[in-house]
């Protein structure tokens, strides 16, 4: 059926408290994507709405959004795979277009996390784990990733300072990303200063500075078949490879704690489908919900050997000027993490990079980009490879 291309991307600003409704929030990312694609709403054959449930009162938001955005009577559906929802949405959209069932599909990700308190939000996230065997005992996202951080430190000698270097990099680019929720500089000294919020303990060895922030936001990615993409857009970005995997929801069922097997498997699939390898990637977006998550991603994606990811950040190889630029839009650590919108935001960044439209964050002449998006504590993994 030919290639599948991305013809439009959009994202709202990620903020701590969006004042409008979820349908208005979704419109923010959608309108930017439609404008970017230079198409009419009526050119869109179907839509997929992606988020994690239970952050707002609306059941089945897909129908509400379709009406509000002018996407009826076209079919719509709701999809969730926790934090990787909109990357999984892109996978489904690719399948719908590749099969010939639809020509143009919009993937709309959103989350309005400020609808509930921080304590309630943490409880909802905890329920992304097994509600029978794990989450009733108080396990939450920072504690889970702290276990991975501790295991990595014990096996490979990784230090808290290595993790802090990742946050410093994130803040370097978050300051110049107008869509980011956190746009302040972060220095290594802040992690050793007891008066600095960055140094506060969360779940040892993770500190406040090692953790991303909740946010409200939306994103939208519009995909089309090859014929439509070439007819409607003079700058399509092609989907070269897609990988996805899952694993045991209970950590007791896992045998690796220094990396995420879903990322390894999804990356293997995506590289094979695209016919490329780690050394061919010019720019990447990885799921840095915590600093340890970015470090593990370096290794899981093949950018570094196991235990050697720290050498990349120490040498600044993952900065914009380095050999493998990673999260040069600030990542989740600076942009914020509105769960359902995150994957779409990552995809948007790579699309802009491949077009040469990333402004101050632009990497020099990239041809192939990668998006690594994780759902839950390594429960779901999606890797997407894009090319210009």
Tell me: the pLDDT tens digits for 35-90?
999 999 999 999 999 999 888 888 899 999 999 999 999 999 999 999 999 999 99
pLDDT > 90? residue 116: no
Residue 13 belongs to domain spanning: 4-117+217-232
- Write down the catalytic residue from 50, 83, 212, 289: 83
Q: Is 337 a catalytic residue?
A: yes
Phi, psi of 111 (to 5 degrees): -160, 130
pLDDT > 90? residue 124: no
Whole-angstrom distance, CA of residue 111 vs CA of residue 58? 12
In a domain, 82, yes or no: yes
In a domain, 381, yes or no: no
Interacting residues of 202 by C-beta distance below 8 A, sequence separation 6+: 142, 146, 208, 210, 211
- Write down the catalytic residue from 102, 152, 287, 337: 337
In a domain, 93, yes or no: yes
Whole-angstrom distance, CA of residue 224 vs CA of residue 234? 13
pTM of the shown model: 0.97
In a domain, 187, yes or no: no
The pLDDT assigned to 133 comes to 86
Whole-angstrom distance, CA of residue 251 vs CA of residue 318? 30
The answer to whether 217 and 14 have CB atoms below 8 angstroms apart is yes
| Domain count for the chain | 1
**H-type helices in 220-282, by residue range?**
226-232, 261-274
Q: What angle do CA 146, 178, 289 make, to 5 degrees?
A: 10
The tens digit of pLDDT for each residue in 330-388 reads: 999 999 999 999 999 999 999 999 999 999 999 999 999 999 999 999 999 999 999 99
Whole-angstrom distance, CA of residue 220 vs CA of residue 12? 9
The tens digit of pLDDT for each residue in 345-354 reads: 999 999 999 9
In a domain, 39, yes or no: yes
Interacting residues of 247 by C-beta distance below 8 A, sequence separation 6+: 253, 254, 260, 261, 262, 378, 379, 381
CATH of the domain at 104: 3.40.47.10
The pLDDT assigned to 71 comes to 98
Q: Is 83 a catalytic residue?
A: yes
In a domain, 31, yes or no: yes
Which residues are registered as beta bridge partners of 109?
50, 219
In a domain, 324, yes or no: no
Residue 161: pLDDT band by 50, 70, 90 thresholds? Answer: very high
In a domain, 183, yes or no: no
């Amino acid at each position: 059926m030919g290639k599948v291309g991305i013809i439009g991307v959009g994202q709202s600003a990620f903020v701590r408290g969006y004042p409008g409704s979820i349908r208005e929030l979704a419109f923010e990312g959608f309108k930017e994507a439609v404008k970017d694609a230079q198409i009419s709403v009526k050119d869109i054959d179907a839509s997929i709405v992606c988020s994690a449930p239970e952050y707002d009162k609306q059941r089945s938001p897909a129908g509400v959004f379709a009406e509000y955005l002018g996407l009826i009577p076209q079919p719509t559906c709701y999809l969730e795979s926790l934090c990787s929802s909109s990357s999984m949405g892109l996978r489904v959209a690719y399948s719908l277009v590749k099969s010939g069932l639809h020509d143009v599909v919009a993937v709309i990700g959103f989350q309005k996390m400020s609808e509930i308190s921080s304590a309630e939000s943490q409880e909802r996230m905890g329920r992304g784990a097994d509600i029978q065997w794990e989450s009733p005992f108080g396990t939450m996202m920072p504690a889970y990733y702290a276990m991975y951080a501790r295991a990595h430190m014990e096996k490979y000698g990784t230090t808290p300072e290595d993790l802090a270097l990742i946050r410093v990099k994130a803040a370097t680019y978050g300051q110049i990303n107008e869509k980011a929720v956190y746009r302040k500089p972060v220095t290594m000294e802040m992690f050793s200063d007891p008066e600095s919020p960055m140094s506060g303990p969360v779940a040892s060895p993770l500190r406040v500075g090692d953790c991303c922030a909740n946010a409200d936001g939306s994103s939208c990615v519009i995909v089309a078949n090859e014929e439509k993409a070439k007819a409607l857009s003079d700058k399509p970005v092609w989907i070269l490879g897609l990988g996805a995997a899952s694993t045991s929801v209970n950590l007791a069922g896992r045998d690796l704690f220094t990396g995420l097997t879903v990322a390894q498997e999804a990356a293997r699939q995506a590289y094979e489908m695209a016919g490329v390898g780690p050394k061919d990637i010019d720019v990447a977006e990885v799921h840095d919900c915590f600093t340890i998550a970015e470090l593990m991603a370096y290794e899981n994606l093949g950018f570094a050997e196991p235990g050697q990811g720290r050498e990349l950040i120490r040498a600044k190889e993952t900065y914009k000027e380095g050999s493998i630029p990673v999260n040069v839009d600030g990542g989740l650590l600076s942009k914020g993490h509105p769960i359902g919108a995150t994957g779409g935001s990552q995809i948007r960044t790579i699309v802009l990079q491949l077009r040469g439209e990333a402004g101050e964050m632009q990497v020099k002449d990239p041809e192939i980009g990668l998006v690594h998006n994780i759902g839950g504590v390594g429960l779901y993994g999606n890797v997407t490879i894009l090319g210009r």
